[in-house]
Amino acid sequence: MRLLLVNPNMTQAMTDRMAALARAAAPGAEVMALTAPRGFPYISSLAEAQIAGAIALEMIAEAGPVDAAIIAAFGDPGLPAARELFGFPVVGMAEASILSALQLGQRFAIVTFTPAMRGWYLASVEALGAGPRCLGVRTPPDHIAQVGDVAETRRAVLRDLATEAARDGAEVVILGGAPLAGLAHDMAGEVRATLLDPITAATRQAVALAGLGSGRAARPVPKLSTGLSPALARLIAQKDAP
Amino acid sequence: MRLLLVNPNMTQAMTDRMAALARAAAPGAEVMALTAPRGFPYISSLAEAQIAGAIALEMIAEAGPVDAAIIAAFGDPGLPAARELFGFPVVGMAEASILSALQLGQRFAIVTFTPAMRGWYLASVEALGAGPRCLGVRTPPDHIAQVGDVAETRRAVLRDLATEAARDGAEVVILGGAPLAGLAHDMAGEVRATLLDPITAATRQAVALAGLGSGRAARPVPKLSTGLSPALARLIAQKDAP
Amino acid sequence: MRLLLVNPNMTQAMTDRMAALARAAAPGAEVMALTAPRGFPYISSLAEAQIAGAIALEMIAEAGPVDAAIIAAFGDPGLPAARELFGFPVVGMAEASILSALQLGQRFAIVTFTPAMRGWYLASVEALGAGPRCLGVRTPPDHIAQVGDVAETRRAVLRDLATEAARDGAEVVILGGAPLAGLAHDMAGEVRATLLDPITAATRQAVALAGLGSGRAARPVPKLSTGLSPALARLIAQKDAP
Amino acid sequence: MRLLLVNPNMTQAMTDRMAALARAAAPGAEVMALTAPRGFPYISSLAEAQIAGAIALEMIAEAGPVDAAIIAAFGDPGLPAARELFGFPVVGMAEASILSALQLGQRFAIVTFTPAMRGWYLASVEALGAGPRCLGVRTPPDHIAQVGDVAETRRAVLRDLATEAARDGAEVVILGGAPLAGLAHDMAGEVRATLLDPITAATRQAVALAGLGSGRAARPVPKLSTGLSPALARLIAQKDAP
Amino acid sequence: MRLLLVNPNMTQAMTDRMAALARAAAPGAEVMALTAPRGFPYISSLAEAQIAGAIALEMIAEAGPVDAAIIAAFGDPGLPAARELFGFPVVGMAEASILSALQLGQRFAIVTFTPAMRGWYLASVEALGAGPRCLGVRTPPDHIAQVGDVAETRRAVLRDLATEAARDGAEVVILGGAPLAGLAHDMAGEVRATLLDPITAATRQAVALAGLGSGRAARPVPKLSTGLSPALARLIAQKDAP
Amino acid sequence: MRLLLVNPNMTQAMTDRMAALARAAAPGAEVMALTAPRGFPYISSLAEAQIAGAIALEMIAEAGPVDAAIIAAFGDPGLPAARELFGFPVVGMAEASILSALQLGQRFAIVTFTPAMRGWYLASVEALGAGPRCLGVRTPPDHIAQVGDVAETRRAVLRDLATEAARDGAEVVILGGAPLAGLAHDMAGEVRATLLDPITAATRQAVALAGLGSGRAARPVPKLSTGLSPALARLIAQKDAP
């Protein structure tokens, strides 16, 4: 099985860490991991997601057909668009985590490292109709500029937030945001709740859905385009591969 | 990996067919399949589900700890209760199908063989907050008493219903209800939509969630009980295994 | 008028207290009160409700036709199933309280004695679509093991919770959970809100609905069964009384 | 027990018919029935309801304290306002019918005699959060000017609409609108569903809630006013009776 | 362009202040401002709104056809009724503010001067389906009797509430309630959010909608009436002008 | 007042027609109209909207600060992202039409020329919480390839769809989709409902909101980027103009 992990952020170290987690989550699969060639070091706004989502489409189109693809940024930029375009399943970190959480317990919470993400992550929860079962997106009060090692520098406060969520009734706590990839494994046993790692959840969902088809069953009308990457243009014109 | 498939219905032939599909969907796993020792030949009402859900808990408690369990009836009797009780993931056919469909396309529909199930299946969709993306539970107008071979005797009308759902915008069509297990594979290519087999979806989800924990992280208070099966009583008293 | 009150818990003292309240709420009616012959001393989890709901069905089937029945546990175990099975109205403590509260004021709250119930009671509110008018399920922070006399031992904190709910805008406060039966009458005048006793509300609703019919108007298909109590089996086979 | 039935319409014959039904539904109670002294022969728009709702408040204020009051028009004009003002329960025909239907079956429908009411009645259903359990407000295609004897002149089409609703899964059918008062009793047995008469449901709810208090527990600030009826002005100034 | 501003409150000073703001918001338009001839000095309850809404209909009917009308009280008394009756657009302060806020940012909050309004304003938000994007109706803890100069006497606490709302993620803060008219302009620059003045928003919406038609396109059935003001009676009988 | 209209489609004739309508809707304003320099002749899928939304951001960034901007494609590609980025209001055709319709009547419908758009437009309605007041997105059964003159070639069927929507209770009918721009004016008087032209509604909203601020009040963190257009990169780095 060939899985494609596209990181719509430009930070290679983040891709490497996520790829390692994905390989651990899908031992039998080949995981191809790509880093965004343009865009932003780290997406953290709707405007950045609009742009990075379009870049993610190009990255998947370029990498050719696989068994399933993972958009490896927690807000899932470009996800519904990708489902329309590609003939294989595409999963997102936030969506896969939330749908996994719904299957593991009655109530869940999301813990992340910055309040800047709260509104966006809440929108992902609400868009899936999971609002009534979510006990909030919980974050430290202040934004931190240095995102890379936040899983270490903010470890204590993140654990406290997860503990409080468990005390309020969350049976599952998602540790959301690409910079926290892997933290759920590291912190297991320290919190009385099931901790969920989004890359693990997304990779497992990619494996679960591989081969089952995609929304492309009902394709939009073929379109000529101008200024797109060649692979994406071919795909939208339906002279295509993926 | 050890998976447990419990059929809360008493019909062994149905269990056999579903076990075969589960084994095909999880080639590396060992699938243990059990048929309800009491209850009903085939569940089709809320009252039957209330009773069969309690029986499903006993069956899982008896079969001891596994990596994940599947409640193999489309309305998912006993599912939230099971999540509270067992230390491993438990998935349901309806829930797993719906959450898979949400990840494969923008809109989905459910097709089943009898109008008797419509209200119940719709309630499953709404309980997951998936109502806005569901194009209905579509069924033939009349109930059929002989449930066993309905996948053959009603094949034409079921395909027509799936085709209409696709035409109305469903990118994914779930063929719901244990008697239709396997029909999605058989009918693939005849409908311009992704057809989803609930046992396949549930087995894939069981594999995806195995090892990730369960709602039991937040256990209820231990309880003595009277008249329960010994394994279930031990579990609720928390002198337990699973 | 004959009313049946079934306590799906095994605690006789609880049944006695609730029966006295029911008789006071329906002076002209004959109230027959039954205690669960098996199950749990006190239900406080979804798993216990799954099992106790099936026992409640047996209890009602056994007790034969009445004018209306009351399932006397706040989470209403087995309620939708009972409506399908019996030819007379069946009401639940939580549902009857919530629907009464909606008719008495614009916003309501539920106060109960343990945080263990919060998630379950909230689910009852949401299932009725009453979420936007509910100001929360409010409880003391810790669980208490000794449930029997909690109306006395936690009286002060419960009154404070009701007072806070009133201050936040609740015009009606439901004192939920069988162990608090009667407390609303006892505390009337101490809180600037309408305090609602669930057994009183449920009994009044049973009287209100008696003779109006039931969901059994649209009966499911008759079914043979194995291992059920004789009365319940007859009913599901539709060779039946209630 | 003293019940007050206020008909916010000016048609005395309608009041008489509804009062007779209310007396039959509450044999032990004294039912005082009033007809609007100004306003409209029959309310059928939001603008008419705005005006008639204010008149209903005056009528209740004038009639002095009772055990419970019924606003006897299906769209419940003035209902939330009345709850704030009066120290006893006030119920509405639509709300009482819908909340009764929720307790009698899983799904319900409303049948009425004119499409002019559809939007308004649907809004009542949605405002109560009952939308997911409602199978629609079903009406003949055309408006009929002569409202008084519509229960006879349109009997056949109304029965067909109720039968279709039952076939689509409605276990309870509300025959809504003051001109259809009593039709549910007359048509019982002709439709395979529980038929609900709104005046009967509202009267039963008034009895059920009598003595339980009202939203006035949390009174608004006293207010002087100009141009109101004396009783209503006194009440709003809180120099008051009801 | 002729705009009509009707203040359903009887306080002339409030009308004057709102008229000045409306004229500033629509420089090219003629603004006719009317004060309620009866009713209440200041509306602050559902009962008062029921009555004042009927008065607002009379005021608009009397003032004859205009290009658009504004109901200048934050809870929008009589608004849906007015849309049915008049052949020109009618806007409300709360609705226009909320719909403007939705177009200016992702999340908004409402700040007002008294907790008495919270429930009512929240209902306006929810009725528009804007609940998921609203970060609450925020008020000082206590009611203040002297409403007239509350924009000055409570300025500091109102600014703090707005600042907190911004910190919690509100990009737009509505300063709601007629006594706060104009405060948003005065406080601009003191809070890191877009502050919205409801009269300004409503006037701008009135201009935006002028000439586009009204719900009266689908008129209700003509009705005779008793006891209404002559202009309103003529309109409802459809021998009418506006 | 300077308004910017960006057409995220590449068809200049469409831009010209929409610019003329915008100028008629805002007589005093200067309207600058731009056509997408790359992308698609006409957007009709989620994937195309993902890409065109990013292009729209570049177009607005390039054109420099204005009083308000209009994204002139009915599904509003890039709208929430634009609100975050720019210091002036940005409106969308679908959103502005829907929010205008909510202010003109109780129920509305959308009529468009192709079923391909139904899912997308419905999602716009639901995202605004306007679902309960929408009577559907109504379209001819088949897609038409030649989009340019569809307002003429399909005029009869579109009028029939609008008429049916009015008959079903829609007081306002939005004629959605850029190729139908202007049709509402042309068809006025032929349908018993208020017909709404999206460009007119959006332009009026742009004027209404000009000067009131934007979601940028709460700016995201400044970001360096790679490969963006210079103006957009500067803006996201917050060394910016608009």
Residue pLDDT, tens place only, B116-163: 888 889 889 988 999 889 999 999 988 776 787 889 999 999 999 999
Angle, in degrees to the nearest 10, between helices B198-209 and A198-209: 150
E67 and E123 share a domain? no
- What DSSP element (H or E) covers F125? helix F118-127
Q: Which pLDDT score, from 0 to 100, does residue F44 have?
A: 87
Residue E10 with chain D: CB contacts under 8 Å: 226
* Alpha-carbon span F57 to F78, nearest angstrom: 7
Q: How crowded is residue B147: how many other Cβ atoms within 10 Å of its Cβ?
A: 20
**Number of alpha carbons in the 13 Å side-chain half-sphere of residue E171:** 27
D81 and D105 share a domain? no
Distance from CA of A80 to the nearest CA of B (A): 7
A139 and A106 share a domain? yes
- At residue F180 the predicted structure's pLDDT band, cuts being 50, 70 and 90, is very high
Residue E212 near chain F (CB below 8 Å): yes
C34 and C49 share a domain? yes
**E interface mutation test: which of C102, C133, C172 has the most E CBs within 10 A?**
C133
Going from the C-alpha of E58 to that of each of C237, D47, D49, E35, F19, the distances in angstroms are 63, 11, 14, 12, 41
| pLDDT tens track for E99-128 | 999 999 999 999 999 888 888 898 899 889
D108 and D189 share a domain? yes
Residue A118 with chain E: CB contacts under 8 Å: 169
Residue B46 with chain C: CB contacts under 8 Å: 80-81, 84
Q: What is the mean pLDDT of chain D?
A: 93
Q: How crowded is residue E227: how many other Cβ atoms within 10 Å of its Cβ?
A: 13
Nearest to E132 among A46, A118, A126 (CB): A126
User: Is D242's pLDDT higher than 80?
Assistant: no
| Chains D and A are touching, with contact defined as 3 or more CB–CB pairs separated by less than 8 Å | no
**Number of alpha carbons in the 13 Å side-chain half-sphere of residue D102:** 24
Nearest to C107 among E115, E119, E131 (CB): E119
User: Is C241's pLDDT higher than 70?
Assistant: no
C81 and C100 share a domain? no
User: What pairs with residue C110 in β-bridges?
Assistant: C137, C174
* Alpha-carbon span D53 to E41, nearest angstrom: 21
Q: Which residue has the tokens 């008129």?
A: E219
Kindly state the tokens that stand for F80: 């929430």
* Alpha-carbon span E82 to F20, nearest angstrom: 33
Residues D163/D167/D169/D171 CA torsion (nearest 10 deg): 40
Q: Are the C-beta atoms of residues D86 and D105 closer than 8 Å to each other?
A: no
Q: How crowded is residue E125: how many other Cβ atoms within 10 Å of its Cβ?
A: 25
Residue D218 near chain C (CB below 8 Å): yes
Look up residue F111 and give its amino acid.
Answer: V
Q: Containing domain of residue D138, as a range?
A: 94-198
| pLDDT tens track for F100-140 | 999 999 999 999 998 888 888 988 998 899 988 999 999 99
- What DSSP element (H or E) covers A238? none
Chains A, C: CB contacts under 8 A, how many?
9
Residue B130 with chain A: CB contacts under 8 Å: 129
Residue F201 near chain E (CB below 8 Å): yes
User: Is D147's pLDDT higher than 70?
Assistant: yes
Sign of CA dihedral C96, C102, C105, C106: positive
* Alpha-carbon span E179 to B189, nearest angstrom: 66
Cα distance from N-terminal residue to C-terminal residue, chain A: 16
Distance from CA of F91 to the nearest CA of E (A): 7
Asked if the structure places residue E241 within a domain, the reply is: no
User: Is D75's pLDDT higher than 80?
Assistant: yes
CB–CB contact A218 B132 (8 Å): no
Distance from CA of E212 to the nearest CA of F (A): 7
Residue D213 near chain E (CB below 8 Å): no
Going from the C-alpha of F171 to that of each of A109, E69, F122, F135, the distances in angstroms are 42, 18, 18, 10
Strand order in the sheet with C108-111: C134-138, C108-111, C172-175, C194-196
* Alpha-carbon span C236 to C225, nearest angstrom: 8
Residues B163/B164/B168/B170 CA torsion (nearest 10 deg): -40
Nearest to B132 among F46, F115, F126 (CB): F126
Those residues of chain A that have pLDDT short of 70 are 145, 241-242
Asked if the structure places residue D242 within a domain, the reply is: no
The mean pLDDT value for B168-192 works out to: 93
Asked if the structure places residue E242 within a domain, the reply is: no
Burial class (CB in 10 A: 0-12, 13-18, 19+), A204: buried
Q: What is the mean pLDDT of chain F?
A: 93
Q: Are the C-beta atoms of residues F104 and E208 closer than 8 Å to each other?
A: no
* Alpha-carbon span F186 to F21, nearest angstrom: 12
| Chains A and C are touching, with contact defined as 3 or more CB–CB pairs separated by less than 8 Å | yes
A110 and A178 share a domain? yes
Distance from CA of A210 to the nearest CA of F (A): 21
* Alpha-carbon span D149 to A23, nearest angstrom: 75
| Chains F and C are touching, with contact defined as 3 or more CB–CB pairs separated by less than 8 Å | no
CB–CB contact D106 B131 (8 Å): no
Kindly state the tokens that stand for D32: 């005082």
Distance from CA of A13 to the nearest CA of B (A): 25
| pLDDT tens track for C14-51 | 999 999 999 999 999 999 999 999 999 999 889 999 99
| pLDDT tens track for D35-55 | 999 999 999 889 999 999 999
Q: Which residue has the tokens 């929240």?
A: E122
Q: Which residue has the tokens 């009655």?
A: A106
* Alpha-carbon span C238 to C222, nearest angstrom: 6
* Alpha-carbon span D4 to D18, nearest angstrom: 12
Residue B187 near chain A (CB below 8 Å): no
Question: Taking the model in full, what pTM does it have?
Answer: 0.94
Q: Which pLDDT score, from 0 to 100, does residue A186 have?
A: 95
**F interface mutation test: which of B107, B134, B192 has the most F CBs within 10 A?**
B107
Question: What residue of E is the nearest CA neighbor of A138?
Answer: E168
Please identify among residues 87-126 of chain A the ones whose CB lies closer than 8 Å to any CB of chain C.
106-107
Q: Which pLDDT score, from 0 to 100, does residue D241 have?
A: 66
Helix ranges, C168-228 (H): 183-187, 198-209
Please tell me which chains touch F, using 3 or more CB pairs under 8 Å as the contact test.
A, B, D, E
**D interface mutation test: which of C85, C103, C194 has the most D CBs within 10 A?**
C103
Asked if the structure places residue F188 within a domain, the reply is: yes
CB–CB contact C228 B38 (8 Å): yes
Higher pLDDT, A219 or F141: F141
- Nearest CA to D104 out of D172, D202, D204 is that of D172
E70 and E98 share a domain? no
Kindly state the tokens that stand for E142: 């206590």
CB–CB contact A208 B128 (8 Å): no
Number of domains in chain C: 2
C214 and C233 share a domain? yes
CATH number of the domain bearing residue D213: 3.40.50.12500
Please tell me which chains touch C, using 3 or more CB pairs under 8 Å as the contact test.
A, B, D, E
Q: Which pLDDT score, from 0 to 100, does residue E219 have?
A: 75
User: Is B241's pLDDT higher than 80?
Assistant: no
Count of H-run helices and E-run strands, chain D: 10, 8
CB–CB contact A107 C126 (8 Å): no
Angle, in degrees to the nearest 10, between helices C198-209 and C93-104: 90
Look up residue A219 and give its amino acid.
Answer: R
User: What pairs with residue A22 in β-bridges?
Assistant: none
Distance from CA of B69 to the nearest CA of F (A): 36
Say if strands B194-196 and B134-138 run parallel, antiparallel, or are unpaired. unpaired
Burial class (CB in 10 A: 0-12, 13-18, 19+), C221: middle
CB–CB contact D126 F132 (8 Å): yes
- Report residue C113: phi and psi, to 5°: -95, -5
Would you put residue F15 in left (φ > 0), alpha (ψ -120 to 50) or beta? alpha
Cα distance from N-terminal residue to C-terminal residue, chain E: 15
Q: Which pLDDT score, from 0 to 100, does residue F60 have?
A: 97
Residue D169 with chain B: CB contacts under 8 Å: 115, 118-119
Residue F227 near chain A (CB below 8 Å): yes
Residue A100 with chain B: CB contacts under 8 Å: 208-209, 212
* Alpha-carbon span E164 to F239, nearest angstrom: 28
**D interface mutation test: which of E10, E50, E214 has the most D CBs within 10 A?**
E50
Angle, in degrees to the nearest 10, between helices A93-104 and B93-104: 170
Question: What residue of C is the nearest CA neighbor of B126?
Answer: C127
| Residues ≥6 apart with Cβ < 8 Å to D119 | F106, F107, F169
Asked if the structure places residue F100 within a domain, the reply is: no
Please identify among residues 22-41 of chain A the ones whose CB lies closer than 8 Å to any CB of chain E.
none
Q: Which pLDDT score, from 0 to 100, does residue F241 have?
A: 66
Residue D46 with chain F: CB contacts under 8 Å: 106
- Biggest CA–CA distance in chain F, Å, is 54
CB–CB contact E40 D224 (8 Å): yes
| pLDDT tens track for E40-75 | 999 988 999 999 999 999 999 999 799 999 999 999
Sign of CA dihedral B48, B49, B50, B53: positive
Residue E123 with chain C: CB contacts under 8 Å: 106
- At residue E24 the predicted structure's pLDDT band, cuts being 50, 70 and 90, is very high
Cα distance from N-terminal residue to C-terminal residue, chain B: 15
Kindly state the tokens that stand for E238: 């459809």
Q: Which pLDDT score, from 0 to 100, does residue C128 have?
A: 93
- Nearest CA to B60 out of B38, B20, B32 is that of B32
E130 and E185 share a domain? yes
Chains B, D: CB contacts under 8 A, how many?
9
User: What pairs with residue E173 in β-bridges?
Assistant: E109, E195
- At residue D103 the predicted structure's pLDDT band, cuts being 50, 70 and 90, is very high
Q: Which residue has the tokens 């009705």?
A: E223
Kindly state the tokens that stand for E94: 């709360």
Asked if the structure places residue A241 within a domain, the reply is: no
Residue C119 with chain A: CB contacts under 8 Å: 106-107, 169
CB–CB contact B44 C143 (8 Å): no
Q: How crowded is residue C28: how many other Cβ atoms within 10 Å of its Cβ?
A: 8
Residue C46 near chain B (CB below 8 Å): yes
Question: What residue of E is the nearest CA neighbor of A46?
Answer: E106
**Local structure of B4: helix, strand or coil:** strand
Q: Are the C-beta atoms of residues F149 and F119 closer than 8 Å to each other?
A: no
Asked if the structure places residue E74 within a domain, the reply is: yes
The mean pLDDT value for B220-234 works out to: 89
The mean pLDDT value for B31-57 works out to: 95
Distance from CA of D188 to the nearest CA of E (A): 32
- Report residue B203: phi and psi, to 5°: -65, -45
User: Is B64's pLDDT higher than 80?
Assistant: no
A86 and A172 share a domain? no
- Report residue F115: phi and psi, to 5°: -65, -15
Any idea what the Cα angle at residue C66 is, between residues C4 and B38, rounded to 5°? Answer: 80
F60-77 in b/e burial notation, b at 16+ Cβ within 10 A?
bbebeebbbbbbbbbbbb
- Report residue A131: phi and psi, to 5°: -50, -50
Q: Are the C-beta atoms of residues D176 and D151 closer than 8 Å to each other?
A: no
Residue F193 near chain E (CB below 8 Å): yes
| pLDDT tens track for C100-125 | 999 999 999 999 998 888 888 988 99
D23 and D87 share a domain? yes
Q: How crowded is residue D159: how many other Cβ atoms within 10 Å of its Cβ?
A: 17
- What DSSP element (H or E) covers E47? helix E46-63
Residue D83 near chain C (CB below 8 Å): yes
**A interface mutation test: which of C46, C122, C139 has the most A CBs within 10 A?**
C122
Higher pLDDT, C127 or B201: B201
Please state the length of chain F.
242
